[in-house]
Amino acid sequence: MKNLFIVLSCAAAVTACKSNKKEKSDVTGWNYNDKNMGGYQVSREKEQRTGPGLVFVQGGTFTMGATEEDVMGDWNNIPTRKTVNSFYIDRTEVANIHYREYLYWVNTVFDGDEYKAVREGALPDTLVWRSELAYNEPLVEYYFRHPSYNYYPVVGVTWRQAHDFCLWRSDRVNEKALYDKGFINKTALKNLQGQGAESFNTKAYLLGLTTPTPGNQVRSKKNPLKNPNGTPRTQVTFEDGILLPNYRLPTEAEWEYAAMGLVGQNPNPSKKEGKRGEELITNKQVFAWTNNVNGLRDSRRGAWQGTFLANFKRGNGDNMGVAGGLNDRAVYTAPVTSFFPNSFGLYNMSGNVSEWTGDVYRPLSPTDNDDVSPYRGNHFQNVYKNKDGEFEKDSLGHVKTVYVTDEESKNRRNYQKGNVINYLDGDSIVAGVGYGEMDMDKNKAAGRGYGMTTLISDKSRVIKGGSWNDRPYWLSPGTRRFLEEDQGLSTVGFRCAMDRLGSPEGNGRKTGISYPTRRQNTRKR
């Protein structure tokens, strides 16, 4: 026992020595996190954690666009090779209960008369269920509110409302992260009533415009964050690795890539560091499910044989099958965890409800967009500073921003306009003005009537995935449609996404090909 005690003591001493060893700079030799060497702090957080509700999607290259005959004759999804960076996306569609949680927060925090428009502007449009020749009034009254529909996808939400939900979710998740680490006092989360513009906002917090009361434990020696003099630090920075990037709507390319789940077609994917996978896709998919690549029904023997794998419309008047054998168990929407998830673990990427993406719609976006991380919809912004050089918040507590002007962009090599939504879409040829520029008055004077002969505008956003009331053609992730961003439908919902920071292979993986270290000559010089 005495010898064992000595061994354990030695092991503990060695461990303590290793833990006290300071990490130091490769370029200067100075220690990090050392008050005696300048006190420069480097985060102990090494990987991005996965936010609530999200699933990691490892990026890669894929053929974006049509996977079957273009029966609609739109030819707006020309197959093109694209690369998508790794990212995170919601495991399910956002459900009624999630959106009601958001409304509860909005109604609690912005409860004054001056915020009436804010509260009403967040409400989904339940009248999307109405039809002139159908009895849908029960859905108008109860679909969004009754607990029986808690985990059914929220519908009647505009693109703008979905975008605002993502911003709210970002702040709530980051606020809880600070609370869990003790950087926000417990009482701050209890007193939501009437906070208004003083409510937590991530960017405002990082810029010092919001200073919540810190918890007691962050003032102790256990706090890993230190000031240059070695005292505990109560203000978190983004460099500390505690706060997450914003939730947002997925881009069209991200959504389509995630829906395909082509990792399931790889015969030998890499599952751990040091094991190299194949660069191979064995089958070309049509729908989001991967067990039966080409068919609408499951072809495997057993209990699933012959069953449908999504919630969609079979044909005229057939939305759920025959009594005693309902094929998808849903006449309208189905719970967000219905059916089998795809190879990335995502539910209902085909069917149930179509989903908003971040992109502005153009028919030729597949060929116009960049090969890497394709996206149309950029209107660049800067954080606003007043005449004293100070940042400011708006009436809702968000940091004020201003759009980038053409004047400050004209000398750049990578872009020359602040608003590039219309870049390469042909408007400059029609309007006779500079690229990306629309002058309605000039067009009217010239008799061109621009904007009067097309349903497409800068408010047209891409929707993907097909819905409970769509035929199988629209269930293919390669198909695309559009809807104005200020409109909602009973067939359109959404899910959120988040940027992936760091290794594209995921946590615990290295970036780039890693080879064993070669033995070098260690002779002192």
Q: DSSP assignment of 296-362, as one string? A: SB--SSSTTTT-B-S----BTTBSSEETTEESSS-SS---TT-S---TTS---SSSSSEEEEEEEP-
- List strand residue ranges (DSSP E) for 167-283, in order: 247-248
Mean pLDDT of 56-79: 91
Lowest-confidence range among 101-110, 215-224, 406-415, 465-474? 215-224
Residue 139 vs residues 129, 145, 148, 338: alpha-carbon distances, Å: 6, 10, 12, 20
Write down the residue that tokens 């993907």 correspond to. Answer: 464
Whole-number pLDDT of residue 411: 92
Confidence class for position 509, pLDDT limits 50, 70, 90: confident
How far separated are the first and last CA of the chain, in Å rounded? 46
Task: Note the pLDDT tens digit of each residue in 382-420.
Answer: 999 999 999 999 999 999 999 999 999 999 999 999 999
Locate 14 and state its tokens: 């060695």
- List strand residue ranges (DSSP E) for 247-292, in order: 247-248
Q: Is the pTM of this model over 0.85?
A: yes
Higher confidence at residue 15 or residue 182? 182
- Alpha-carbon dihedral sign for residues 487, 492, 493, 498: negative
Which letter does DSSP use for residue 477 in this model? T
Nearest of 165, 231, 173, 230 to residue 205 by alpha carbon: 173
365 SS3 class: helix
Lowest-confidence range among 111-125, 142-156, 189-203, 236-250? 189-203
- Answer yes or no: is pLDDT of 16 > 50: no
- Work out the angle at residue 439's Cα, subtended by the Cα atoms of residues 436 and 443, and round it to the nearest 5 degrees: 120
- List strand residue ranges (DSSP E) for 404-472, in order: 460-464
Whole-number pLDDT of residue 432: 40
Whole-number pLDDT of residue 107: 96
Whole-number pLDDT of residue 525: 55
Q: Is 487 exposed, middle or buried (0-12, 13-18, 19+ CB in 10 A)?
A: middle
Nearest of 127, 70, 134 to residue 317 by alpha carbon: 134
The amino acid that residue 192 corresponds to is: L
Mean pLDDT of 150-167: 98
How far is 85 from 375, CA to CA, in rounded Å? 12
157 SS3 class: coil
CA 257 to chain centre: 13
Name residue 499's beta-bridge partners.
87
Instruction: With beta carbons less than 8 A apart as the criterion, state whether 243 and 181 touch.
Output: no
Mean pLDDT of 348-375: 96
Whole-number pLDDT of residue 270: 87
